[in-house]
């Protein structure tokens, strides 16, 4: 077996892409998207029909006639439309992200997540097949706690610290996505080192620590390693509940016929679970004390917002082009 096949025997493999063709090729269990991936996908020719349908739907349903407002609604519809297409190819779930501009607004995050689920259900997709992606801010975790009690399952993303992981577990979140590669990026930029191996990769060690804490204390929250920079990181975390992997790294694993590294231990000794330990003040203080997590969380939100806005500008341009074509045809 190649390494991808070996990995699938130890972890659920998730495709970190919105590209339907890549998902069809690598046959992952699940798939996850984000604004950056949706922006890239929206530029592919195979999505033109979905974009046109999303814009038409948004123009019909928007309570505002401003192009920017219609484009914002169309972006939400497009995310669901692409998610529904992906679910025709994967047996598991798809992750769809809440607008990152709402990362510090609990109520708005809850409302947005409910609208996403309503759109999925209107398309015939059961909520059990969707994970709502939310940034791992205090407000985002609080929103996820409410949503989970409603049967809306959440994927807490942009997770860089142990404090974020503890808060997510104590909130009863379905799944977390610790960002391995972005942790490594920060340490390379700030330590003067460029020779990290899988054995001392700080992103790998962070996920190992979280995984051990969860499994030893019986938390049900799923750990899904994300944002990998190389296959060595992936192999070091083989055995993690889930691993979401880009098409490029999936291809590298598929083309490698050697034995997969040992990865995470198959068994973790149990320890007593502590009482709830992390309130808002402690969470904010601990996160603030972690320069890497603070900087990467802020940067991640900014980047997702930037790509969300780029997607909306692209959709707005498409809409204005359609209007000009219609006007010329009717003149």
Q: Give the residue numbers annotated as catalytic, written as ranges.
A: 133
Cα(132)–Cα(140) distance, rounded to whole angstroms?
Answer: 11
By CB atoms closer than 10 A (0-12, 13-18, 19+), residue 25 is: middle
Question: Which helix (H) or strand (E) is 311 found in, with range?
Answer: helix 291-330
> Which residues make beta-bridge pairs with 16?
32
Q: What is the DSSP string of 161-178?
A: SHHHHHHHHHTT-SEEEE
Cα(75)–Cα(27) distance, rounded to whole angstroms?
Answer: 26
Q: Is 218 helix (H, G, I), strand (E, B) or coil?
A: coil
Cα(100)–Cα(159) distance, rounded to whole angstroms?
Answer: 14
- Quote the crossing angle between the two packed helices 180-191 and 291-330, to the nearest 10°: 120
Residue among 108, 106, 86 at smallest CA distance from 96: 86
Pairing of strands 30-32, 94-97: parallel
Could you tell me how many helices (H) and strands (E) the chain has, helices first? 14, 8
Tokens of 200: 């001392």
Using alpha carbons, list the distances in angstroms from residue 267 to 10, 210, 211, 324. Answer: 13, 15, 11, 62
Q: Is 144 helix (H, G, I), strand (E, B) or coil?
A: helix
Cα(177)–Cα(34) distance, rounded to whole angstroms?
Answer: 12
Using alpha carbons, list the distances in angstroms from residue 135 to 188, 227, 299. Answer: 24, 14, 12
DSSP-derived secondary structure letter, 83: H
């Amino acid at each position: 077996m190649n390494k991808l096949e070996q990995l699938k025997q130890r972890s659920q493999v998730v495709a970190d892409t919105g590209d339907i063709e890549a998902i069809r090729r690598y046959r992952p269990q699940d798939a996850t998207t984000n604004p950056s991936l949706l922006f890239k996908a929206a530029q592919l020719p195979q999505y033109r029909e979905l974009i046109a349908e999303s814009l038409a739907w948004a123009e019909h349903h928007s309570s505002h006639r401003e192009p920017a407002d219609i484009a914002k609604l169309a972006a939400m519809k497009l995310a669901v439309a692409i998610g529904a297409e992906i679910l025709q190819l994967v047996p598991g779930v798809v992750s769809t992200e809440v607008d990152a501009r709402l990362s510090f607004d609990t109520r708005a995050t809850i409302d947005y997540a409910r609208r996403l689920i309503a759109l999925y259900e209107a398309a015939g997709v059961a909520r059990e097949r969707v994970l709502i992606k939310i940034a791992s801010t205090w407000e985002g975790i609080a929103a996820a706690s409410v949503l989970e009690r409603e049967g809306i399952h959440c994927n807490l993303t942009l997770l860089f610290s142990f404090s974020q992981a503890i808060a997510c577990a104590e909130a009863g979140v379905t799944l977390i996505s610790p960002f391995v590669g972005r942790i490594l990026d920060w340490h390379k930029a700030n330590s003067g080192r460029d020779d990290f191996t899988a054995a001392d990769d700080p992103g790998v060690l962070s996920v190992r620590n979280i995984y051990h804490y969860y499994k030893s204390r019986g938390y049900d929250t799923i750990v899904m390693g994300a944002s990998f920079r190389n296959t060595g990181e992936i192999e070091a975390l083989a055995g993690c509940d889930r691993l979401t992997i880009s098409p490029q790294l999936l291809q590298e694993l598929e083309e490698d016929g050697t034995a997969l590294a040992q990865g995470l231990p198959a068994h973790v000794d149990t320890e007593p679970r502590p009482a709830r330990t992390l309130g808002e003040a402690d969470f904010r203080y601990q996160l603030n004390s972690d320069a890497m997590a603070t900087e990467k969380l802020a940067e991640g939100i900014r980047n997702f917002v930037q790509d969300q806005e780029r997607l909306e500008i692209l959709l707005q341009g498409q809409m204005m082009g359609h209007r000009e074509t219609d006007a010329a045809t009717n003149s």
